[in-house]
Structure 1
Amino acid sequence: MTSYVSPPAEPRPQVLAARPAAPAPRQGIDADRWPDVAGLPPGSRARSAVAAALVRSALRRLPLRVRWGGGSVTGGAGPLLDVRDPEAFFRRIGADGLIGFGESYLAREWDSDDLVGVLEVLAAHVTRLVPPALQRLRGVWAHRHPGAERNTPDGARGNIRRHYDLSNDLFALFLDETMTYSSAVFTDPAADGWDELADAQRRKADRLLDLAEVRTGTRLLEIGTGWGDLALRAARRGARVRTVTLSHEQRDLALRRIARAGLADRVSVELRDYREVEGAYDAVVSVEMVEAVGEEYWPVYFDALDRLTVPGGRVALQTITMPHDRMLATRDTYTWIHKYVFPGGMLPSLEAIRQATAHTGLRVTSDDGFGTHYARTLRLWRERFTRRAEAVERLGFDATFRRMWEFYLAYSEAGFRAGYLDVRQIAFTADGVARGGAR
């Protein structure tokens, strides 16, 4: 049975001692693994009252139906948000904002028979949920990122371990046979069933390799190995591939897959930070890695891509993006996703990528967005994960973890369905000139 690292609670001295006994909806939650879910946060009645007033007002303006405490349903249309324990719900939001909203779901204080639908409505109206005056004071009430989650070389290793080293068996339960954990590219809008997913993932990888002009003899560097499928496809084209990762679990499985394919002589897999890589490559590819780098290190990351690519070489990235104004508004905010799923992560905007590459020799040659494809990919993962709940439990992941993972997948799918998030494949040419001089 596989154990896993439970997410650390946000530092709150003497919180556990101050918390009241958990009411019935929170019974059965492991307080050691999930301290901030099993108990309620300390908070004043005033903050809870303010949260209640703001949340009720916001929900009345949205296309949602709401049930409070088992009473009658308000609102005329839309998915149902069923708030089973309003007092706990408002208390969590008053203390921790959207982190509290997510923790309230984990504690079963609210639910929905259309979770993605509820979250999609919230994502589509995200700029209206908090009054403008409070949005301007975000720095006062929002939690800040813990220093331990900065993406220094040591910090990045810890952040990666908490997500990607959970268990290869866990990911295999909901990913397709390619073991690809990023957006697929479908051809037919109507053909997005499970049977189409593996081919859609291969299509995504091939498009990226085409953008990087990978062919026989190409010296290819991949930053972020995943479980090795893209490296395998590149090697089958005749490329010589070096791929680097910080995940022990992913490296182990990638090496086994490469050996089984008889391609160990063409692919090397290394446990190495991108900042430590040396050499010169005809092409560099990286799939949904920018998001894990963190804003502080985006210039360092793109400097590395520039430095490692020969003049005239190609760089091809796949990255999730968000609107620039929302990125600026939330850049310093510690979120539920940071706390429970992706510590240290940060989604860039297209403008942020342009700014981070402006001083390099990387020049954009193509840029294609396909966010609706990610919504479909996430739906397939979420449905498969939910169907395999018993198998997830047998791996040692408790009911709260499973609810957390379902919320994460639904939350992500909703963001793409609402158009709040996008995913893009961006190709660059390295022109050999950076910072005003030849390299």
Structure 2
Amino acid sequence: MPDPARPQPRPWRPRRTGRTTPRTVAGLVELVTAGPLPVRITAFDGSATGPEDSPVGLHVADRRALTYLLGAPGDLGLARAYVAGHLQPVGVTHGNPYPLLRALAEGLRLRRPALADLPDAVRALGLGTLRPIAPPPEEAPARWRRVAEGLRHSHRRDAAAISRHYDVSNTFYEYVLGPSMTYTCAVYTEPPAEVPAALTAAQEAKHALVFDKLGLQPGQRLLDVGCGWGAMVRHAARRGVRALGVTLSREQAEWARAAIVRDGLQDLAEVRYCDYRDVPEGGFDAVSSIGLSEHVGVANYPSYFTALHERVRPGGRLLNHSITRPTNDSDVRTEPFIDRYVFPDGELTGSGRMIVAMQDAGWDVRHSENLREHYALTLQGWCANLETHWDACVAEVGVGKARVWGLYMAACAVSFERDQIQLHQVLAVRPRDDGSADVPLRPWWTG
């Protein structure tokens, strides 16, 4: 009961702006969205909006979710609230929010509310909601604060960025990636009936495709830059090719070396903890770069493709396999969520811009193909693995880190499906001085 002896605050009433200003979380959601909501949204204040029969939804668990969302509108605020557990998926597991993200991508329409509505909306939810709070501990510093790690794409800063993502836990990656321990797009011949079960074979098919495009023969030499856990290196070595892999992840290098010994491939395979720029050898018959160029920086493409060009013999080949954008505009930086939580300093551009850089470095580009649907299937397999091993993954790396991986893999699967990002394999050759390229007249590989 209010104390009648104390002055009471005047009750708040919305301004007249043509519609009722929201007093609830659900009302705020309706204020910033247009058209029918594709999912059910509930909140800690008991309010709800969206279809009651929706199989998936979101629950705003407390005011900290609103603080994150209002403090960083867009994907970063959503990620902070989700990773910290204040924005909770309904009808799906934390390990695999793909169904929810797909529904939101297909049906959510945002709009900018009238400026006159905002002050009253904020007061209705509490002015304290705007008071900043620390982001989840899984978040990397903003780009400008990473200068302590060195200039962008310097040796030291690239090593720090790679370590942040890949030196998480080899055991965790074994749960998510499955037996292949391959963290790049697989290649499928048809949509699989069981996505996780088909993943290992599809990764083997990808390595076979790269091997065949490069035209490798027993006794030749392969340099695999950004080799991960060494799957491509071991694939080549099992076929009589001398293969050297380099990675900036210490944990990857240790795992790969142990796998090489386990498979009895020490005479043909080697993995080093090394920057691709520091490989002293040259004269390789081929170079494979599978998932590295996303990390080197678009401005560094000229030096990157030149360095690879210098390490192959005339007539040698390069297979560059990388995530790309559908366009070649100048905006190359990744979105805030990916940059802060997944791939610090990562950059993407269109395949056209990449091909131009390859040609300018002296490469004769022979073939390019887009495998984006294959990457969507690959990511669905990883999401399913994370969901299956959720408790073990949480025990290994913590619930926040596990949520980060589930969110980013599911979001990327949706983006590949909707042609918001792509995956290109580009095959090139270093021509001889007389212009000959030592390639057949027609494509020689299958798949």
TM tier, shorter chain?
0.7 to 0.9
* Native 8 Å contact 1:93 1:101 kept in 2: yes
Give the number of the structure whose residues are more often helix, by fraction: 1
Is residue 430 from structure 1 mapped to residue 407 from structure 2 by the alignment?
Answer: no
Q: Which has the larger radius of gyration?
A: 2
* Native 8 Å contact 2:34 2:111 kept in 1: no
Identify the residue that residue 179 of structure 1 maps to in structure 2: 181
Change (3 A) 1:334 1:375: closer
* Native 8 Å contact 1:185 1:201 kept in 2: yes
* Native 8 Å contact 1:314 1:430 kept in 2: yes
* Native 8 Å contact 1:81 1:110 kept in 2: no
What letter corresponds to residue 111 of structure 1 in structure 2? Q
What letter corresponds to residue 94 of structure 1 in structure 2? L
Change (3 A) 1:246 1:408: same
Identify the residue that residue 417 of structure 1 maps to in structure 2: 417
What letter corresponds to residue 86 of structure 2 in structure 1? E
SS in 2 for 1:324: coil
Residues in 1 aligned to 2:193 and 2:301: alpha-carbon distance in whole angstroms? 36
1:61-76 equivalence runs, <5 A? 61=35, 64-69=38-43, 70-74=46-50
Residues in 2 aligned to 1:393 and 1:110: alpha-carbon distance in whole angstroms? 18
Change (3 A) 1:387 1:192: closer
* Native 8 Å contact 2:229 2:256 kept in 1: yes
Deviation (angstroms), 1:388: 1.3
What letter corresponds to residue 95 of structure 1 in structure 2? G
Identify the residue that residue 324 of structure 2 maps to in structure 1: 321
Identify the residue that residue 60 of structure 1 maps to in structure 2: 34
Identify the residue that residue 253 of structure 1 maps to in structure 2: 255
Change (3 A) 1:403 1:368: same
Superposed CA offset, 1:255-303 (max 9, x none): 1111122211111221211111231211000111111212232222111
Identify the residue that residue 102 of structure 1 maps to in structure 2: 79
Residues in 1 aligned to 2:308 and 2:26: alpha-carbon distance in whole angstroms? 48
Change (3 A) 1:368 1:402: same
Normalised by the length of structure 1, the TM-score is: 0.76
What letter corresponds to residue 119 of structure 1 in structure 2? L
* Native 8 Å contact 1:99 1:336 kept in 2: yes
Change (3 A) 1:324 1:122: farther
Residues in 1 aligned to 2:156 and 2:215: alpha-carbon distance in whole angstroms? 33
Residues in 2 aligned to 1:350 and 1:67: alpha-carbon distance in whole angstroms? 39
Which stretches in structure 2 are left out of the alignment for 5+ residues?
Answer: 1-22, 113-141, 434-447
Change (3 A) 1:53 1:350: farther
1:40-55 equivalence runs, <5 A? none
What letter corresponds to residue 306 of structure 1 in structure 2? H
* Native 8 Å contact 2:37 2:107 kept in 1: no
Which stretches in structure 1 are left out of the alignment for 5+ residues?
Answer: 1-48, 132-142, 434-439
1:116-155 equivalence runs, <5 A? 116-120=98-102, 146-148=145-147, 150-155=152-157
Change (3 A) 1:297 1:76: farther
Is residue 365 from structure 1 mapped to residue 366 from structure 2 by the alignment?
Answer: yes
What letter corresponds to residue 368 of structure 2 in structure 1? D
Residues in 2 aligned to 1:340 and 1:315: alpha-carbon distance in whole angstroms? 31
Normalised by the length of structure 2, the TM-score is: 0.75
SS in 1 for 2:360: coil
Residues in 1 aligned to 2:197 and 2:333: alpha-carbon distance in whole angstroms? 40
Is residue 82 from structure 1 mapped to residue 58 from structure 2 by the alignment?
Answer: yes
Change (3 A) 1:333 1:179: closer
1:17-416 equivalence runs, <5 A? 56=30, 59-61=33-35, 64-69=38-43, 70-74=46-50, 80-85=56-61, 88-97=64-73, 98-112=75-89, 113=91, 115-120=97-102, 146-148=145-147, 150-278=152-280, 279-324=282-327, 328-329=330-331, 331-332=332-333, 335-395=336-396, 397-416=397-416
Superposed CA offset, 1:181-235 (max 9, x none): 1111112214443222111110000101111111112221110121111111111
Superposed CA offset, 1:328-362 (max 9, x none): 34x35661112112112112311221232242111
Superposed CA offset, 1:19-64 (max 9, x none): xxxxxxxxxxxxxxxxxxxxxxxxxxxxxx9x99997566324762
The alignment-based identity, stated in percent, is: 30
Residues in 2 aligned to 1:160 and 1:52: alpha-carbon distance in whole angstroms? 40
Deviation (angstroms), 1:238: 1.5
More displaced 10-residue stretch of structure 1: 290-299 or 206-215: 290-299
What letter corresponds to residue 419 of structure 1 in structure 2? D
Residues in 1 aligned to 2:167 and 2:268: alpha-carbon distance in whole angstroms? 25
Change (3 A) 1:282 1:110: same
Residues in 2 aligned to 1:58 and 1:108: alpha-carbon distance in whole angstroms? 22
Deviation (angstroms), 1:314: 0.7
SS in 2 for 1:328: coil
SS in 2 for 1:244: strand
What letter corresponds to residue 404 of structure 2 in structure 1? M
Residues in 2 aligned to 1:408 and 1:54: alpha-carbon distance in whole angstroms? 26
Superposed CA offset, 1:232-260 (max 9, x none): 11112221111111111111111111112
Residues in 2 aligned to 1:180 and 1:332: alpha-carbon distance in whole angstroms? 25
* Native 8 Å contact 1:209 1:316 kept in 2: no
Change (3 A) 1:266 1:324: same
Change (3 A) 1:77 1:315: farther
* Native 8 Å contact 2:175 2:385 kept in 1: yes
What letter corresponds to residue 80 of structure 2 in structure 1? E
Change (3 A) 1:157 1:74: same
Residues in 2 aligned to 1:288 and 1:311: alpha-carbon distance in whole angstroms? 24
